[in-house]
Structure 1
Amino acid sequence: MSSLLNATFDASDEGIWPTRRRKILDWLVTETRHERFIDNILVEMCIRLLDAGVPVTRASLHFRTNHPQWIGARILWRKGLAEAEIRTFDYGVEETDQYLNSPLHEINSGASVVRRRLDEDGPQYPLYDELRADGYTDYIAWPLDHTLDKRHVVTFATDRTGGFSEDHITILADLLPALALVSEIRLKNRLARTLLETYVGPHASEQILAGATTRGSGVTVGAGILICDLRNFTAISDLWPRDDVIELLNGYFDAMSGPIEKHGGEILKFMGDGLLAIFPLTDPMACANLLRAISEAQTAVAELNHENIQKGRDPLGYGIGVHVGDVMYGNIGSRKRLDFTVIGPAVNVASRLESLTKEIKRPVLLSKAFVEMAGCKSKLENLGLFPLRGVGEPIDVYAFSGDCISPD
């Protein structure tokens, strides 16, 4: 791209600005289709604006997101950066003084534009003082309106003496409809991926996005299988207020899920008060990592129970069954409603072991097949053979105490 940064433009020349505006618009609409990420598009757009003589030296995009952890995200570019900075914001930020006393709040409250010449007196926001201290002279924010009145925000700032000219503002304003369209497509792509990752997990979401959407599609994989269930949940849900039950479940799932995901496990589903997770054997340390996850989850549940006792609640109990084997990993269900999960005899064994924890009062039970693959047989307590419902031969069962987190 030829640089025009050092050229001198006559604002009265009617042929310059329309031509360069047209080039940037054409690029934004027709040449960004292969770029997945809106932050990269923002960076490239700002570089092209600079090359066209529009002195943008700072730009940001502010999006509201459908994410379980964050209400929104900010993408920030400054002149000289090869990549934009991305920051996420927790739920509740919209109630803070930082947000309420900002141009973003003004835009989200219905303003069609917020502009501030930073070298002149006028209404103040704390952001203006920060920008002025960094050498900026002009700031402007516009709404980016997406489908169904979803409103986001784009901002531009410059350090040019005298701020943006009216020609600069015209070019930036003309880009807004195309930028809204391009950003909505990327945001919805990201939303689809986020929702899939949230509800079916990262690996399953990759399979689905790659086209595994037909009933029966899937693969056979070897995996360590973990099935966990909360004890006495029916009694708790009958006696406790609804909000307390939800808080308890979320705390319990946090304690269990964090270590599983940390050590490479994939949670395929939450089943009421239980969960199903696999550790694919493509990782040679899968079984050892599964044991590490259980050990850390036990510690996390113990800490949660300490908090529950302080609140006058009974401690939580749980049962975990672990087995290893081949499972069918893919789409199962009706013609119109599918579940991306695992099935097979190995899953049934893990489920029966979880049920067995209720009978023999041990919280974590492992099959001999899993223990041998994990390589720590000598460190576990062998409880002997147990018949399992629906499983042919009795299964040799081991109890896990938390001490076995590495192979012999």
Structure 2
Amino acid sequence: MTSPDKNAPTLSDGVVDWLTNGTRDERFIDNIFAQMCIRLQQAGIPLQRSTFHVLIQHPQWLGARFMWADGMREAEIALVDFDVRERSEYIGSPANEIQDGAAELRENLERDVALGRKHALYDEMRAKGLTDYVAWPLYHTLGKRHLITFATDRPGGFDEAHIAALKRVLPVLALVSEIRIKNRLARTLLETYVGSHASELILAGATRRGTGTTVRAAIMICDLRDFTKISDNWPRDDVIDLLNDYFDAMSEPIAKHGGEILKFIGDGLLAIFPLHEPAACANLLRAVTEARQAMAALNERNGATGRAPLNYGIGVHVGDVMYGNIGSSTRLDFTVIGPAVNMASRLEALTKQLGRNVLLSRAFAELVEREFELEHVGKHEVRGFSDPIELFAFQP
């Protein structure tokens, strides 16, 4: 039997040409994947179901799965947890075998189940009337392996022409998908490390040192109390877990109410609420209220294990800040600077001295005093500022 000619025409040649030349304006790989499956069907390949599994670099997810089935115009997207590899749904699955080095998996779903592989996935596909299943690794650069699968309900399964046509698609899909996945990865990494708004500006070209814009914003600086003592006396892993739990308690309400965290500084964070949103200042205090509730819940959980409660201080001010790129010629930080940031930092430092968790400047308090109950705590000297500053405390 002669081996098939790799250059011989196949049923999928039109799909290969479309992937090569017709997808330039499509940004999302899930849309390309769904359209590819539909076009493979239209080319005469009896495709009933297909999945595309990709590994991604994301702080919360190991990967993503795109799934298409006959009649669908769009692919379903499911995110995959990091601990999936410890679950029965993964162990012994095609994804497991491909990641362990298999070059191809083929399962005849028509034969007696006792003769086939035992994984539950094959039973599920048999129950849906599928007759044949094939899975291949999809290679990106530097040997990174993803997974593509195809299944049919055709009696007798895929024939040799169908398999040859599907294989013909793989190298081009690998190139097309890698570009989109890496574009998404770049966006995800920027959002993870600098925030959503800053990442949009950077991707739009705001990468020149010294460039930026003046933004009027409410500035919030938060710091964990007695962290030095905690870090000196606790095991390293416990300290990391504590910081992550603390930042979750503080960060999620900030993001929920429209704030943007620009950086974590040791055990502190800097966030802004731009005033182009009419309720920005009120939203900041709503975020503080929910963060306090989250910290109370965290302290209750920690108390059950014998840990001391965590305390924090928050300084809040409002004013114009320079928002942009600052740093060396080869290493930049996208941040905010200006007297308003310094003021928020000084107020945070005063919270411990004045015995208050949250201190607000008069400039900020004037914007929210009709909606929130504030405590006037008088005028106080603030390091770096010549005149005493009138301060208010907020007790959520």
TM range (shorter): over 0.9
Instruction: Identify the match of residue 306 of structure 1 among 270, 277, 300.
Output: 300
Q: For residues 360 and 163 of structure 2, what CA distance do their matches in structure 1 show?
A: 67
Instruction: Identify the match of residue 50 of structure 1 among 35, 41, 53.
Output: 41
Instruction: Determine whether 1:262 maps to 2:253.
Output: no
**Deviation for aligned residue 1:309:** 1.6
**Deviation for aligned residue 1:20:** 4.4
Whether the 8 Å CA contact 1:371–1:377 is kept in 2: the answer is no
**Deviation for aligned residue 1:374:** 2.2
5+ unaligned residues in a row in structure 1: which ranges? 1-13, 403-408
Match of 1:323 in 2: 317
Q: For residues 135 and 221 of structure 1, what CA distance do their matches in structure 2 show?
A: 60
Instruction: Determine whether 1:230 maps to 2:230.
Output: no
Match of 1:7 in 2: none
**Deviation for aligned residue 1:124:** 2.9
TM-score, normalised to structure 2's length? 0.95
Match of 1:335 in 2: 329
Match of 1:285 in 2: 279
Match of 1:406 in 2: none
Q: For residues 133 and 377 of structure 1, what CA distance do their matches in structure 2 show?
A: 59
- SS of the residue corresponding to residue 309 of structure 2 reads coil
Q: Deviations over 1:206-246 (max 9, x none)?
A: 11111111101211111111000001101111111100100
Q: Deviations over 1:64-88 (max 9, x none)?
A: 1111111111011111112111101
Change over 3 Å in CA distance of 1:378–1:79 after alignment to 2 = closer
Instruction: Determine whether 1:71 maps to 2:62.
Output: yes
- SS of the residue corresponding to residue 204 of structure 1 reads helix
Whether the 8 Å CA contact 2:351–2:357 is kept in 1: the answer is yes
Whether the 8 Å CA contact 2:216–2:320 is kept in 1: the answer is yes
**Deviation for aligned residue 1:180:** 0.9
**Deviation for aligned residue 1:364:** 0.4
**Deviation for aligned residue 1:198:** 0.6
Paired residue type of 2:220: L
Instruction: Determine whether 1:81 maps to 2:72.
Output: yes
Instruction: Determine whether 1:240 maps to 2:217.
Output: no
Q: For residues 366 and 263 of structure 1, what CA distance do their matches in structure 2 show?
A: 18
Q: For residues 312 and 259 of structure 2, what CA distance do their matches in structure 1 show?
A: 19
Instruction: Determine whether 1:295 maps to 2:289.
Output: yes
- Give the CA RMSD over aligned residues: 1.4
Matched-pair identity in %: 64
Whether the 8 Å CA contact 1:101–1:126 is kept in 2: the answer is no
Equivalent residue pairs, number: 387
Instruction: Determine whether 1:116 maps to 2:107.
Output: yes
- SS of the residue corresponding to residue 12 of structure 2 reads helix
Instruction: Determine whether 1:274 maps to 2:268.
Output: yes
Alignment of 1:8-407 (within 5 A): 18=9, 20-121=11-112, 122-376=116-370, 379-402=373-396
- SS of the residue corresponding to residue 90 of structure 2 reads helix
**Deviation for aligned residue 1:95:** 1.3
**Deviation for aligned residue 1:378:** 6.9
TM-score, normalised to structure 1's length? 0.92
Q: For residues 372 and 196 of structure 2, what CA distance do their matches in structure 1 show?
A: 35
Q: Which sits farther off after the overlay, 190-199 or 120-129?
A: 120-129
Q: For residues 346 and 376 of structure 1, what CA distance do their matches in structure 2 show?
A: 23
Change over 3 Å in CA distance of 1:314–1:51 after alignment to 2 = same
**Deviation for aligned residue 1:100:** 0.7
Whether the 8 Å CA contact 1:228–1:320 is kept in 2: the answer is yes
